[in-house]
Amino acid sequence: MNDVDVLVVGAGVAGLAAARLLESYSRFVTVVDKGRSVGGRLATRRIDEARLDHGAQFFTQRGPEMQSLVEELLDEEVATEWCRGFGGTDDGHPRYVVPGGMTGLAKFLAEALEDVRCGVEVRSVTQRDRGWTVEWDGGSVQAGAVLLTSPVPQSLALMDAGGVQLDPGVRSGLEAVEYDPTIALLVLLDRPSAVPAPGGVQLTEGPFSWVADNMAKGVSEFPALTLHCDPVTSQALWGAEPQEVLDELLPAASEWFGEAEVLEAQVKTWRYAIPTTTWPEPYCTAVDGDWPLVLAGDAFDGPKVEGAYRSGMAAGVRLNRSGVTS
């Protein structure tokens, strides 16, 4: 007898989208995440009185899959349109933000779910007769099916820890998935920044690929910038002490400060930030059949919030087709 129909590892966009879909089909689902709260790379940090998005900065909806969610988010005033391009361009495609921070999107997706547990770091996933055992320090769950939405190298490690036998083609495809890291600088200023309207700049030359003014985005009531390093700079400074990163990068960032003084600066690192080599389908069925093990996330359907959402929804449809029962 299983405790749940589906155990979802990861309360980022993909895991939460899948869980919502499965619960709408009356499946019993538990979502676990090692983070202190839901969101994964939808991450908002509070520093003193300021708030800063330090992972995803905005989201888009170019295909039809996310349309009804976006309508819901706008109706409920969870999200708002920020702009339709940066650097004076308008490509006609809305960029949406969440006033108060991008974690608000994950909280919205999670709020109606039955069982979401944060602070739970899964250690292994082991196949049994008619299901799976998912273990963490001090606990475990018996599930009919498992959905892994952790970054793919971490999902592989969980399967290896439980001795899951993978088809060699599946294993080599998953091992080929790669991610760029990102180093983020979070900077509090004593007055408004010099970042031009609409408050975001995409850059093609390093060390930064992106600068955002969280006040202009409606995330913070106090001047606070998020700067993302480009992949080359992030690789070069990976593992450096935060102070070393700040010493190296704050001078280059100062053009965005204008007349403002820096009140506080912090560094946040994302080891698995942006998938660069991806899986060719919206999800991966690592173990097929009535008691499946499926992988999903932005490495499967595009390195964006929208791609992660699509992947989670597609994986949810697949898992609902299986014979999982509690």
Ligand X SMILES: Cc1cc2nc3c(=O)[nH]c(=O)nc-3n(C[C@H](O)[C@H](O)[C@H](O)COP(=O)(O)OP(=O)(O)OC[C@H]3O[C@@H](n4cnc5c(N)ncnc54)[C@H](O)[C@@H]3O)c2cc1C
**Measured between alpha carbons, how far is 158 from 161 in angstroms, rounded to an integer?**
5
Q: In the bound complex, what is the minimum distance in angstroms from residue 295's beta carbon to ligand X? A: 10
Among 4, 5, 7, 10, binds ligand X (CB under 6 A): 10
Nearer to ligand X, 58 or 279 (CB): 58
Nearer to ligand X, 239 or 323 (CB): 239
First CA to last CA distance, the chain? 6
Q: Work out whether 35 is an interface residue with ligand X (CB under 6 A).
A: yes
Contacting ligand X within 287-316 (CB under 6 A) = 297-298, 303-308
Is there a contact between 94 and 74 (Cβ–Cβ < 8 Å)? no
Q: Which two tokens stand for residue 123?
A: 């250690």
260, 256, 257, 240: which is closest to 248 by C-alpha?
A: 240
At CA 207, angle to CA 205 and CA 213, rounded to 5? Answer: 95
Q: How far is the CB of 190 from ligand X (least distance, A)?
A: 25
217: nearest Cα among 198, 195, 202: 198
Region binding ligand X by CB under 6 A among candidate stretches 11-19, 84-92, 126-134, 231-239:
11-19
Q: Please report, as residue ranges, which positions from 163 to 222 form the binding site for ligand X (by CB under 6 A).
A: 182, 184
Least Å from the CB of residue 205 to ligand X: 18
Residue 244: CB atoms within 10 Å: 12
Rounded to the nearest 5 degrees, what angle is found at the Cα of 89, between the Cα atoms of 83 and 91? 70
Write phi, then psi, for 124 (nearest 5 degrees). Answer: -155, 155
Interface residues for ligand X in 142-161 (CB under 6 A)? 149-150, 154, 158
Task: Work out which of 22, 29, 56, 324 binds ligand X, going by CB under 6 A.
Answer: 56
Applying CB under 6 A, what is the total number of residues that bind ligand X?
40
| Interaction residues for ligand X, span 101-120 (CB under 6 A) | 120
Q: Residue 270 CA to chain centroid, in angstroms?
A: 10
Of 186-194, 233-241, 248-256, 270-278: span binding ligand X (CB under 6 A): 270-278
Contacts of 232 (CB under 8 A, 6+ apart): 206
Binding of ligand X by 228 (CB under 6 A): yes
Give residues in contact with ligand X (CB under 6 A): 9-15, 32-35, 40-42, 55-59, 120-122, 149-150, 154, 158, 182, 184, 228, 270, 273-274, 297-298, 303-308
